[in-house]
Amino acid sequence: MDNLQKSPMPTQSIESRQVHGKSLMIFGSHDDATISQISTCLADGPVARGVICADGHKGYAQPVGGVVAYYDHVSLSGVGFDIACGVKGVKTDLKWSDIKKDASKISDEMASSISFGIGKTNNAGLDHELFDDESWKINILRDHKEMARQQLSSCGSGNHWVNVFADDEDNVWIGCHFGSRGLGHKTASHYLLVSGGRDGMDVPPCILSTKSNIGTEYLAAMELCGRYAYAGRDIVCQTVADMLGAKILDEVHNHHNFAWKETHNNTDLWVVRKGATPSFPGQRGVVGSSMGGRSAIVRGIDSQVSKDALYSTVHGSGRLMSRTQAAGKVKWIRDEKTGKKHPQRVAEGLINEASMRQKIKDQGIELRGGGADESPDVYRNLEEVLEHHKGTVEIECWLNPKIVLMAGADTFDPYKD
C-alpha cells in the first residue's frame, strides 16, 4: 500500500463480539495476531471490556491501538515502555505561503537545534519546574532524575517526529510526537521486573492492583512521566515557534500511551490506552500520520458507538509492515575508538529508501532524517483509518506536512518507541 497515492475510501467496519465473556469492539480489519493479542488481554483479571481501533497492530503484550478497561487494576504492559507517548499540535499566526520560500533553510535550522536519539544539542528545560515535583522521591525516579533532566525535550527515534504543517486554509501548525524517553522506559522496566511480569510480545499483560502499594507507587511514577512528556513537547513546540518568529494561537495536546481513571456507565474504571487517543465528547486530539501523509485534529462525538468504544480513537495511521520487513535487518557495532555505535546491514528490506525519498521530495516536503522503516508505504492511509471511526470523532482540520524531522536510520537510541 502506498500512502502517497489516493485509494478508494473503504466501507466503515465496526464489529462487537464477546471474547472470554467480555465485550470487544473492533474498528476496521485486523490480522489474526492482533485479534489474538487483544483476546489474551481480555482473558484473565478484572477486565471490564476492550476495544481495538482501526490503526491497531500487534505490540508488546497489548496491541498498539488497543484499549482495555479494568476494575481497580492497571496494566503495565498496556501503558508500555514509552509511558505518555503523545502528540502536541499548535496553530500559529503564520501563513505557509509567507515562509515557503525559506523551507529548506528552516528545515536545516530545526534539524540543528532539535535533539533526536539519546543525545541532546541544547540546554532547553534543564531547570524546568517539573524537577521540583515531590514524586522524584520515588526510588526509581530519583535514581534517573539527572538522566531525565539531560533528556528533557529530546525527541527519540523510530516513529517520533517534529513537523511543520499547513492546514487547508494555509495556516502554519507545529507538531511533535514523542514520550517520556529514558525515564519512561526505565520506570516501566523497573515495575515490570519487581512485579514479576514478562517482557515480550507474546506474553500475558502484567496487571497491578491500584490499591496495592506497588500499584499506587507505579501510578504516581506514571503520572510524573506524563508531566515530563508534556513538558518536553511543550518545549519543542515553543522552540520551533520562536525559531519561526511565530505566535501560538491555539494548541491541542494529548497522550496516547497512558492509563486514566474514568467513569463509564456509572462505573469507575482504569482505562489503559496503548496507541489510542482519548476522545470524549468535545475533546480534541492530534492524530499523526506517516511522513508523507496528512495528520488531523479530531474532536470527539457523543454517540452510543463512542460510549461503547470507551471514548477512544486512533493515535495514527497504523503500521502494515514491521521495521525489519521494511528496512531489513541491522546490527549495531561499537566503534572502538569513539565508543559510538553505528548500524551494519545484514539483510535487505522491502522498501527502496532512495525511491521513498524521491516521492517525499516530489510532494514538496522537506525531509530531514527518517529511514526506510518509516516509509509511507509501511503505513495505512489515515483518511481510510478514520473512516472506520466515523460517528465517534469528527475532523476539525487536516494538517499537510511541509517540513518533517525524524531521527536518521544511523541514530542509535535504546528507547526507540
Q: What's the pLDDT tens digit per position in 340-375?
A: 776 676 678 898 999 999 999 999 999 999 999 999
CATH number for domain 14-408, candidates 3.50.50.60, 3.30.300.20, 3.40.50.970, 3.90.1860.10: 3.90.1860.10
Overall average pLDDT of the 249-278 stretch = 98
- Report whether pLDDT(337) > 90: no
Chain segment 193-241, per-residue pLDDT in tens: 999 999 899 999 999 999 999 999 999 999 999 999 999 999 999 999 9
The pLDDT score that the predictor gives to residue 44 is: 81
| pLDDT tens, residue by residue, 56-89 | 999 999 999 999 999 999 999 999 999 999 999 9
Q: What is the pLDDT of residue 258?
A: 98
Euclidean distance between CA atoms 99 and 320, whole angstroms: 35
Q: Which amino acid does the sequence have at 267? A: T
Give the model confidence (pLDDT) of 95-140 as tens digits: 999 999 999 999 999 999 999 876 665 666 678 999 999 999 999 9
Q: Buried (b) or exposed (e) across 106-117, using 16+ Cβ within 10 A?
A: bbeebbebbbbb
DSSP 331-350: EEEE-TTT--EEEEEEEE-S
Share of the chain above pLDDT 90, in %: 82
Euclidean distance between CA atoms 67 and 96, whole angstroms? 37
Does the pLDDT at position 20 exceed 60?
yes
In the chain, where are the structural domains located?
A: 14-408
pLDDT at site 130: 95
Closest residue by Cα to residue 322 from 188, 160, 158, 180: 158
For the entire predicted model, the pTM comes to: 0.92
Question: Is there a contact between 312 and 53 (Cβ–Cβ < 8 Å)?
Answer: yes
In this predicted structure, what is the pLDDT of residue 2?
39
